[in-house]
Amino acid sequence: MSRGLWVTLEGGDGSGKTTQATLLEEWLRSRGRSVLRTREPGGTAVGVLIRNIVLHHPGDIAPRAEALLYAADRAHHVETLVRPARERGDVVIQDRYLDSSVAYQGAGRVLDGNEIRDLSLWATGGALPDVTVLLDLDPAVARGRLDAVDKPFDRLEAEQAAFHERVRAAFLALAAAEPERFLVLDATRPVDELAAAIRERVAAALS
Ligand code: TYD
């Protein structure tokens, strides 16, 4: 049986993760690979309920409660979906994982990033992806992309520019700390160039 692989995509809102996840999925399927495409928050039925709270609750949520909700979604997602898929030999392509919590709840909401990471590691029994693609983008450019799409902002997207600057810096720091897991790409590069760079990294990890 082919070896499983777990790939996560990270980056600010509007950085193009979904487009790249779709292109990677199409390429892997065309090569006969079995793919699980998923996301956090909201990759499971329980996760959809949690996603609705963290993204659409109309009032404030205490930062530690928000961190716990993302961690709860993650615990259930990894246990019931990601780990079994990986064990079956699937390639898991996942939009966001624990690095998003460290960046958004840690740097964004100003909680301790190490505590946030440890919380997620506890929640998932220490599960870490094989490859994490970081699509790095200036939040001002990302905001222009989001404004161009006629979709209301969720609770995180609606945060101030300074919040998104801290999130970006935190993602870059995470990537610098784990260079063997991360592939950092400039998200202003053309879509097909980004896709080719991601394919190359994934192909190397699969071989
Ligand atoms: P996403 O699914 O990328 O949003 P969209 O459907 O609009 O593309 O992510 C939802 C939001 O959740 C995003 O603003 C980042 C935030 N988030 C956290 O704050 N912490 C986390 O741990 C995760 C996974 C996401």
Render each residue's pLDDT in the chain as its tens digit; 207 residues.
457 999 999 999 899 999 999 999 999 999 999 999 999 999 999 999 999 999 999 999 999 999 999 999 999 999 999 999 999 999 999 999 999 999 999 999 999 999 999 999 999 999 999 999 999 999 999 998 888 888 888 888 888 899 999 999 999 999 999 999 999 999 999 999 999 999 999 999 999
Q: Does 159 sit in the ligand 1 pocket, CB within 6 Å? A: no
Nearest atom of ligand 1 to the alpha carbon of 54: 12
Helical spans, DSSP H, in 79-160: 83-88, 98-101, 113-124, 139-148
As given in the structure block, the two tokens for residue 15 are 């950085």
- Rounded to the nearest angstrom, the distance between the alpha carbon of 41 and the centre of ligand 1 is 7
Q: Does 96 sit in the ligand 1 pocket, CB within 6 Å? A: yes
Mutate to test the pocket of ligand 1, among 40, 51, 96, 99 (most ligand atoms within 8 A of CB): 96
Nearest atom of ligand 1 to the alpha carbon of 17: 3
> CA of 133: how far to CAs of 7, 30, 74, 122, 178, in Å?
8, 21, 18, 23, 12
Q: Does 41 sit in the ligand 1 pocket, CB within 6 Å? A: yes
What's the pLDDT score for residue 2?
A: 59
Intra-chain end-to-end CA distance of the chain, in Å: 13
Q: Which DSSP letter does residue 162 get? A: H
As given in the structure block, the two tokens for residue 87 are 């064990």
What's the pLDDT score for residue 189?
A: 98
The model carries a pTM of 0.95
The greatest distance separating any two alpha carbons of the chain, rounded to the nearest whole angstrom, comes to 48
Residue bearing tokens 């610098």? 176
CA distance 27 to 43: 22
CA distance 97 to 10: 7
According to DSSP, the β-strands at 131-136 and 182-186 are parallel
Burial class from Cβ neighbours inside 10 Å (0-12, 13-18, 19+) for residue 80 reads middle
> CA of 15: how far to CAs of 8, 80, 97, 122, in Å?
14, 28, 15, 28
Contact criterion met (CB below 8 Å) for 24 and 199: yes
Nearest atom of ligand 1 to the alpha carbon of 97: 24
According to DSSP, the β-strands at 131-136 and 5-11 are parallel
Closest CA to ligand 1's atom 15: 156
